[in-house]
Each structure stands twice: as structure tokens, then as C-alpha cells.
Amino acid sequence: MKKTTQSEAFNLNSGNNAFTYSGAGISDIVQQRRSRLAESKKTENTPMKPVGDLDIKDIRGWTLKEPVSKNTYTVIKIQTGSGLVGYGECSQLSPAEFAEAKRIIIGTPVTSFEVVAPKLSHVTTARAAINIAMLDVTGKIAKAPIFQVLGGPTRFKARALAPLTGNTDQELINSMNRLKALGYLAFMVPIPTVVWRNQGQEYVLATRNRLDALRAAGGENTDFALDGSNKLTPGDAQMICEAIENFHVLFFNEPCLPVSIGAIKKLSAENVTPIGLGKGITGENQILDLIRDDAVDIIRPSIGLNGISQIKRMAVIAETYYIAVGPDHNGGPIGTAACLHLAASIPNFFVQKIPCPEAEEDRLMRLALVAEPVETIKEGYAPLLTGPGLGITVNEKIFEKYMEASL
């Protein structure tokens, strides 16, 4: 209705040299825009100019497996035209995803780590590793650690969180004592084994008792996060939240599946126990609803699914709501190095989870992968890595020994 009046008004004013407008003219604009968009898409697919010195020339990948824990993760290596190399790590990558990511990034300037991200939005796991590797090379070009490239250091050490392993309280105490000897002071505690839905008072008390037993054994300078691993129903989760409210955990991680924000919102409204969420998240927009609905106190995106830059973007969102960042990490030592650079690049970092496998063989593998001591903890904190890029020297020779697949 409005449009008819408007086109009349246009015709009143149209002079010789002017465009004449009608309803059809307006849809021309839409068509113009569309064709412009199509043109810009076309240029993306036109053959690239020859690979320059600082463009990505090659990418390789290896999926590695820890011998005892069977934990797997993919290490990638990119190489520029001039021969500079950078390493990255992500969660296990499929050959198809690797091939698709490779097709997109060959010929890309190695420093364009931020603008390459939207082009990889359909292969987010590969995007994580590529981001880390591109930053590694950018740091080597700048002869500076990644945190300096990204505007840090915002801190000079990063608080570390070690996941405890074991089924019984005593096994967990033993695990804690071993990790305490390594320098850790904050621990992620698994909830007691979940046997059924809505387990009631016995289970709630067992959870509280587990935390009390650990604190009694660990002393006053230890801190704990309770890890629900999405295994509880909202009903159990909210009762546990209540039961541990005055224990003052650092946070209750993944108390129940965040498939319904409603359940988490209720939990968060009922209790003051800080809530940690986000290990499965692969895009910064996915944390928006959690944050805006007051459902989370510490966002925990995984380094292996997001890389450094994506989590840095999430940290900006969290910062405007005064919310902390404590990235999840289930991969290897290259991922840990990336986490430490991220921690020193953002203002609202709180704690970094570092995998600490129980078996000696797994630990030796982690030590052998990287020449520098990446996972060395002192009084609860990890020192930063100061070499250029990631600040690590990757030992490719041992890849073969632990390799699950070559990409």
C-alpha cells in the first residue's frame, strides 16, 4: 500500500537525466545487489595467483592416539611458500574435513588468520587447528610469542586445572596427591558414577561427601570444580547444586545437558554455585543465549573445536556481561601451548584445564611430542611460553609411533 504512494511521489520529480523509479525499479535494486553478491562469490572460486612466500603452500595432518587412555587428537602442520612452518591441533579430524579445509586455505596469506575463519565455518574442527597453525607462523614472522601478536600478555601465568581420574573417593584422592606433587592446586572432580535417572538423596550426599573428602585430604589451598559431564538429569543437578552451594566449588561444570536452556536457567536462578558450560560449542553465536539468559558464569569452549581466535571472540562477548572464560582442553601438548597463549591474550581468562593422563606411557608421549616443557605447573599456575609463535619445537619423528591415521 505504501509503495504505490511512494512510486507516485518519485515520478513527480523525475527529470531528463534522472533514473525513473517504479515498483519494478525497486526490485531492480534487489537484483543488482544479488548479482553483485554473485560476482563476489565467483571471484572467490577463480584460480588463485601463484603461491607467494607468505601464503600457505601445503598442509599435512596426523591423528595421534595416546597408548593407554586411547585419547586421540589431530596435529596439523602448515608450510608457507618460503618454507616457514606452523603447527596446530584440534579434536580428531576426518579425512573429508581435512581435504575440504585444505582446498580452501592453500594460497591464503598465512597472516590472515581472522578473515579466513568465515570461509572455514563449515569445517569448524579443521578451522581450530588451522587458526593455531597460522598464528604460530605469524608469531614466527613477527619473532614474538602468539600472546604478544594478539596484544598480550594480559597476565604472566595461567591458573591450571587438572582433571582427577578414578572411580572411588580414595582413587580420586590418590590422583589428586599425584597431581599436587606436580604443582597443581585446582582439580576437576567427576561426579559419582551415574547409574540411573533421578537418583535422589543418597547420590546427592555421596557427591557432597566426595568433595568434603577431597578438601580434607587436599588442604585449604586446593580448589575444586565439579564435573557433571552432562550426565545428570536437571532434577539431580539442581539438588547437587544446592547441596554444594556452601562448599564453594570454583564452578559446577556441565551440570546437565544444555539442550534446553530452560533447565540451566532454573538451576542458575535457584543457586549461587557458578555454572560452567560450553565444551561442545563451535561458534561464538552459540554462547549468546547461554550468556543472555543468565545460564552460565564461566564459558568453557574447547580449544580443539575452536582454536585461539574463535575463543578470543567469545571472550569479548563474555566480557561485556562480566563472565569468565575457562577453556576446555582434551587434546595434546600442542593444544595446551595454544591454550596458554590464549589465556595471556584475553582479559577475562580464569582457569585452563590441562589433561593429565594417569598412565606413564601417555605422559611420556606428551613429553616427547614437544621439546619444551609445556605442561609444567608451579604453585597452581602454568608459566607462559616465550618463544616465537607457539614457542614450541614439535618432534615429528615420534608421530609414526603414536599415529592412528595420516591425513
Partner 1 sequence: MKRRNFLYGIGSASALLASNKLTGQNIFPEESDDCGCYPNTSFISEQTKPRVLPTPWQRGDYDYVLSKVRITDLKTIPVSVTPTSDRPYVFVKLETNVGVVGWGEATLEGKAGSAMQAVHDLKDSIIGSDPIQVTHHWQSMWVHAFFRGGPILGSAISGIDHALWDLRGKLLGLPVYKLLGGPTDPEGVRGYYHARANSREQLIELRESAEKLGVTAFKTGLPAQTYEWIDTHAKIDRAIKQLQMIRESLGPKIDIACDFHAKTSPAVASIIIKEIEPLNLLFVEEICPPENAKAMAKITKRSTTPIATGERLIAHFGFRELIEQGIVDIIQPDCAHTGGITGVWAAGALAAASGISVAPHNCTGPIGGLAAIHTDAAMPNFIVQEVCSGVNSTENERVWEEWLGFQAQRMVNGKYPLSDKPGLGFDVNEEALKKYPFAGTVPMARVFADDGSVCGW
108 scored as a contact of partner 1 (CB under 8 A): no
Closer of 112 and 229 to partner 1 (Cβ): 112
Among 221, 386, 393, 395, binds partner 1 (CB under 8 A): 386
Among 67, 81, 107, 153, binds partner 1 (CB under 8 A): 153
Looking only at residues 16 through 45 of this chain, which bind partner 1 when binding is defined by CB under 8 A?
Answer: 17-21, 25-26, 28-30, 32
Stretch that binds partner 1, among 190-198, 207-215, 299-307, 383-391 (CB under 8 A): 383-391
Stretch that binds partner 1, among 85-93, 98-106, 146-154, 159-167 (CB under 8 A): 146-154
Cβ(176)–Cβ(356) below 8 Å: no
From the list 378, 334, 375, 350, the residue with the least C-alpha distance to 225 is 350
Among 346, 369, 377, 407, binds partner 1 (CB under 8 A): 346
Closer of 84 and 249 to partner 1 (Cβ): 84
Among 71, 247, 294, 321, binds partner 1 (CB under 8 A): 321
281 scored as a contact of partner 1 (CB under 8 A): no
Closer of 30 and 38 to partner 1 (Cβ): 30
Closer of 6 and 209 to partner 1 (Cβ): 6
Looking only at residues 163 through 182 of this chain, which bind partner 1 when binding is defined by CB under 8 A?
Answer: none
- CB 136 → partner 1: shortest distance, Å? 13
Applying CB under 8 A, which residues contact partner 1? 2-3, 6-7, 9-10, 13-15, 17-21, 25-26, 28-30, 32, 109, 111-115, 117-118, 138, 141-145, 147-154, 156, 284-285, 287-288, 292, 309, 312-314, 316-317, 319-321, 344-347, 383-384, 386
